[in-house]
Amino acid sequence: MSISINEIKKYLLRNDIKPSFPRLKVFEYLASHPTHPTVDDIYQSLVKEIPTLSKTTVYNTLDLFIRANIVRVVTIDGNELRYDVDITNHGHFKCEQCHTIYEFDIDTDVLSPSSLDGFDIREKNVYFKGTCPRCLAKPKSVSS
């Protein structure tokens, strides 16, 4: 997803978020890195450009985005939260060898168990884990 600062500004405003500079930069980072970065990834990259940036600001900004429903959290990693600007229906596959997170199309609308009738479902996550074809093709290393 390639998106200009101006478009991000409009997008944030449409979602009732004041487009401050750090917010614009955090969103821009997420939009240009569809790799599901962690808070640390975002912070380490942006602090080079915005030396006054704190990790708390990044956290708070992401929190704001999540509450506005323009970013979602991917918890596939267990101990690390990852962030995703793609809020359309899709599943995540984590390769346990190279730790890459792949996305795949899945229609989560069809996942509607009748036992949840009457529940207000806000979010549906589909997480798969295993080994990606790239890693499967690699000869097994002895050391690791």
Residue 87 sits in the site that holds Zn ion (CB under 5 A)? no
Nearer to Zn ion, 13 or 136 (CB): 136
Alpha helices in the chain (DSSP H): 5-14, 21-32, 39-46, 55-67, 133-137
Q: In angstroms, what is the minimal distance from the CB of 122 to Zn ion? A: 17
User: How many Å apart are CA 89 and CA 24, to the nearest integer?
Assistant: 24
Nearer to Zn ion, 30 or 53 (CB): 30
Query: Which residue, 23, 22, 29, is CA-closest to 11?
Result: 23
Strand pairing report for 127-130 and 91-95: parallel
Q: In angstroms, what is the minimal distance from the CB of 44 to Zn ion? A: 21
Residue 103 sits in the site that holds Zn ion (CB under 5 A)? yes
Nearer to Zn ion, 57 or 77 (CB): 77
C-alpha distances (whole Å) from 101 to each of 23, 93, 109, 128 are 25, 6, 22, 10
> Please, are residues 36 and 84 in contact by the beta-carbon 8 Å criterion?
yes
Q: In angstroms, what is the minimal distance from the CB of 3 to Zn ion? A: 16
Backbone angles phi, psi at 23, to 5 degrees: -65, -45
55-84 positions binding Zn ion, by CB under 5 A: 84
Which span (6-14, 22-30, 45-53, 128-136) binds Zn ion, by CB under 5 A? 128-136
Interacting residue with Zn ion among 13, 68, 87, 98 (CB under 5 A): 98
Interacting residue with Zn ion among 97, 106, 108, 126 (CB under 5 A): 97
Binding site for Zn ion (CB under 5 A): 84, 86, 95, 97-98, 103, 132, 135
